[in-house]
Structure 1
């Protein structure tokens, strides 16, 4: 069995899972740190705070991670109260997908297209499989997580899947009734930060007049707005794109991009569909 430190390192270094998995694992780690009995309460509390800081720094594009850790750490009281908060939050995360599916299934029918590996999207597509004819999956360079999603859709839902390169999306969009993606962060104005390539797909969907849906938990909604700072999009090693460098050529590898809200038909959450107005109302209630 992995130690807490090993699990923390795995989550901090993860590049293959969606934010749903990362956030749930982070909550579980913080819960275990708050309940472990091998250290003094003071040491355990310090480890809890240190782990939370490492998690947030490791995935700056994921608002849900910052939101989840803040909610746990801001819980009044000691370790037991913070552990109880983590347990409640984990239950909310686990139940959110079922509610998202209830709102999303009426609009996810026929042939759909998706991009990146989102645990939320996977679960919702499997839940709605009776009305889905086919899912066209972009393979998701440079780590090809779309291939994993394609396998999981077949294995978990026996869904018919077509796997294509990212560059072929426009060719197949005319066959689709909708595009559906996840989100790493929903900004205060309804813009979405997600896997690089999402914005291009949204523009292409607009050109084909294909609805573009984002599925995510409200935990991913942030009070932040886009600052223009590309650091929010997490640039990684160029070697993932080009293993053997080409002399005189600069290779870039941003993991995320920004999809503006006007390209998004609806953001479907566990509380129902949301647009800019509903997001503003939600943030003002906090």
Structure 2
């Protein structure tokens, strides 16, 4: 295995626009496992590489807390590269089975006519598992890259009746729904979530209509970050939302017109009816406790093999 191959895979994670967080988390775990399993002559150098590349991965996608959490979980293991490889395999197995547990805990809430947005592997698997209880799903298209179209296609292959709408039409169709269900790219330390831009507007619409707003997420996505309401921290908040190229929104520039293209937004905890994880319903105190553990792992990673 060449180190250049590892660096190329990290670059793919950093620049990816096509996959959801589940794929990115899995690839992050596999990169560390493969590096830990590499046959390098100098074990100390291999450990330095693991921590160096781990830091790169943990900082690759600010809005996707699971990447940093996965790195922290794996590299918090003390010992040899072999021990780290074993920790990566264990985490991968745990992560692959999490969705089944989420589906079990979510079953009482997912029925009738639902609404969702973006392309979430977790939401897709859970809705497919509950399809016998679901009559109809309205899917938002997800500008600017239209990943909602892929979500609609994937759900329809499970025999579910689908209506695809523009993001701006969500409030029109909201009264027809029993609930809104979305995934999360990050769960912040106080229970707010970061997800595809437009999720917050969907949550406010659901709140206005008195319709439940459910979030399906693995606990690995819990972050140590908090969203500050202080305007002095606006830049820190926006850095979590991953601003991308304006050309995705407007191909031909218009003189004197600026274009902003944030991929993610923040939905306040108060708008979330239930946050459903592989452990069951997550309460705010539990989220804070897990976030504190994540922060300890981050601090360990920051000071090891500098």
TM-score (norm 2): 0.88
Report the counterpart of residue 56 of structure 2 in structure 1: 54
Residue in 2 that maps onto 1:150: 152
Among 257, 268, 283, the residue aligned to 1:249? 257
Q: Note the alpha carbon deviations across 1:195-253, whole angstroms, 9 max, x for none.
A: 11010000000111110000001111123211342111111111111111111100000
Other-structure match for 2:125 = 123
User: How far apart are 1:278 and its partner, in Å?
Assistant: 3.2
Q: Is the 8 A contact 1:138 1:163 kept in 2?
A: yes
Aligned length: 285
Look up the SS of the partner of 1:233 in the other structure.
Answer: coil
Query: Is 1:8–2:10 an aligned residue pair?
Result: yes
1:29-178 → structure 2 map (5 Å cutoff): 29-37=31-39, 40-155=42-157, 157-178=158-179
Q: Secondary structure at the match of 1:75?
A: coil
Alignment RMSD: 1.9
Stretch deviating more after TM superposition (82-91 or 36-45): 36-45
Residue 276 of structure 1, CA deviation:
1.5
Q: Is the 8 A contact 2:141 2:166 kept in 1?
A: yes
Contact 1:12–1:54, Cα closer than 8 Å, also in 2: no
Partner Cα separation in structure 2 for residue 209 and residue 93 of structure 1: 33
Structure 2, unmatched stretches of 5+, are: 229-233, 295-306
* C-alpha contact (below 8 Å) 1:191/1:260 kept by paired residues: yes
Cα distance in 2 between the residues matched to 1:284 and 1:31: 25
Compute the displacement of 1:114 (Å).
0.6
Cα deviations by residue, 1:120-154 (Å, 9 ceiling, x for unpaired): 00110111011011111111011111111111112
Indicate if the aligned counterparts of 2:77 and 2:83 stay in contact, CA closer than 8 A: yes
Shift of 1:168: 0.6
User: 1:84 deviation in Å?
Assistant: 0.6
In the other structure, the counterpart of 1:192 is 193
Aligned residue in 2 for 1:274: 282
Asked if structure 1 preserves the Cα contact closer than 8 Å seen for 2:224 and 2:292, the reply is no
Check whether the contact 2:112–2:178 (CA below 8 A) recurs between aligned residues: yes
Once the 2 structures are TM-superposed, how far is the Cα of residue 65 of structure 1 from its aligned partner? 0.8
1:232 to 240, 243, 268: 240
| 1:69-99: CA deviation from partner (whole Å, max 9, x where unpaired) | 0111121001001111111111111010000
Tell me, yes or no, if the aligned pair for 1:60 and 1:234 is still in contact at 8 Å: yes
Question: What is the alpha-carbon distance in structure 1 between the residues aligned to residue 149 and residue 44 of structure 2?
Answer: 45
1:19 corresponds to which residue? 21
Change (3 A) 1:96 1:22: same
Residues 252-285 of structure 1 deviation map (CA, whole Å, 9 limit, x = unaligned): 0011111001100010000001132332354467
Cα separation, 2, equivalents of 1:12 and 1:119: 19
The CA deviation string for residues 21-55 of structure 1, in whole angstroms up to 9 with x for no partner, is: 21111101111111022564344333322322222
Cα distance in 1 for residues equivalent to 2:51 and 2:137? 41
Aligned partners of 1:39, 1:139: CA distance in 2, in Å?
A: 50
